[in-house]
A = this chain, B = another copy of it.
Amino acid sequence: MNERELVARLRAKATSVPGLVLGIGDDCAIFRPRAGQDLVFTTDLFLEDIHFRRAFSTPEQAGRRALARSLSDIAAMGASPRFCLVSLALPAWADTKWFDAFYRGLLQLAREHRMAVAGGDLSHAEKLVCDVMICGSVGKGKALRRDGAAPGDVLYVSGPLGGWTHKEMPEPRIALGRKLVGKASAAMDLSDGLSLDLHRLCFASGVAAKVDCEPPRLPGATLDQALHDGEDYELLYTAPENVSVPGFRIGSIVRGRPGRVSFLGKPLPPQGYDHFSRNRS
């Protein structure tokens, strides 16, 4: 199968979404934004033996997770996904059947969120490389940022944590993110574990946080996993006390050294996954 045949297969599976003037097949995709909307952009790598292992995932699961990682960032901004670009470098072991199944998983999740695959790049490599860029839209000035938390705000997580190894069918929190628009003071997705991501949110907002109860956790997950494991596809967010938002209340934002986090009265140093340090520290 050559590049044109692969592109033709992808075009045949492509769906259309409002605003997407031109999708797969030209030098660029063309998108016509709607007035009064901001656009948000994220990109996430999905690499063999770093973010997934062949032995532990079906190709459908791998395709779904490759898209879910980026979708979770769109959810964290309170935005709605519009379209994505998918860069894919295929190793020799990835045959047409694998390619089709990978895209089936990716496109299934894309359809659930009414977004299009608008383009990308194809190449080859020794190990599978996938990079997914998503463009989402949100009301002008309404995007949820991580730098808006203020002392007195309540701290929430969107669901049970600590189960990254169990989630073969991740469900990014797009619907919840949209509900938080105009209510949450800050939000981010829990991609690298509660302790590290909460530290980041607090650091960006110039505040500290007190976690004063155990976070909800998935069946079988230890407290340690709930505090430090990543890839939960859940959101971490803050809102003023008098604003009603869905989710699990786990603590509050306080004045203090920016980024300092305590858990049940003791310091909780950031211990999540740092993609660059190459180790769970």
Residues of A within 8 A of B (CB): 1-4, 6, 21-22, 25-33, 35, 37-45, 47, 50-51, 73-74, 76-77, 79, 85, 87, 89-90, 118-127, 129, 131, 133, 135-136, 140, 143, 145-147, 188-189, 200, 204, 274-278
B residues less than 8 Å from A76 (CB atoms): 27-28
Q: Smallest Cβ distance from A14 to chain B, in angstroms?
A: 14
With A27-B76, A277-B2 in contact, is A43–B87 under 8 Å at CB? yes
CA distance A262 to B35 in the complex (A): 46
Q: Are B121 and A6 in contact (CB under 8 A)?
A: no
Which B residues are CB-close (under 8 A) to A126? Answer: 126-127
Given the known interface contacts A2-B277, A123-B47, A127-B126, the answer about A146 and B87 at a Cβ–Cβ threshold of 8 Å is no
Whether A73 contacts B143 by the Cβ 8 Å rule is no
A119 and B274 CA atoms in complex are apart in Å by: 17
A252 to chain B, nearest CB (A): 22
Contact A77 B40 (CB under 8 A): no
Query: Which B residues are CB-close (under 8 A) to A28?
Result: 40-42, 73-74, 76-77, 79, 136, 143
* Residue of A77, A126, A276 contacting most chain B CB atoms (<10 Å): A276
B276–A3 touching, CB < 8 Å? yes
Sampled A-B contacts (21; CB under 8 Å): A1-B276, A2-B277, A3-B274, A3-B276, A4-B274, A21-B143, A25-B204, A28-B136, A29-B42, A30-B38, A30-B143, A31-B39, A32-B140, A33-B33, A42-B85, A42-B119, A44-B87, A47-B89, A85-B133, A129-B131, A133-B133
CB pair B44–A121 under 8 Å, yes or no, is: yes
B31 touches A38 (CB 8 A): yes
Chain B residues whose C-beta falls within 8 Å of the C-beta of A40 in the assembled complex: 28-31
**Are A41 and B29 in contact (CB-based, < 8 A)?**
yes
Interface contact B22-A145, CB-CB below 8 Å: yes
Q: Can you name the residue of chain B whose Cβ is closest to the Cβ of A130?
A: B131
Q: In the complex, what distance in Å separates the CA atom of A21 from the CA atom of B90?
A: 35
For residue A147, which residues in chain B have a CB less than 8 angstroms away from its CB? 26
Taking the closest CB of chain B, its distance from the CB of A275, in whole angstroms, is 5
Q: Which of B33, B41, B74 interacts with A118 by CB under 8 Å?
A: B41
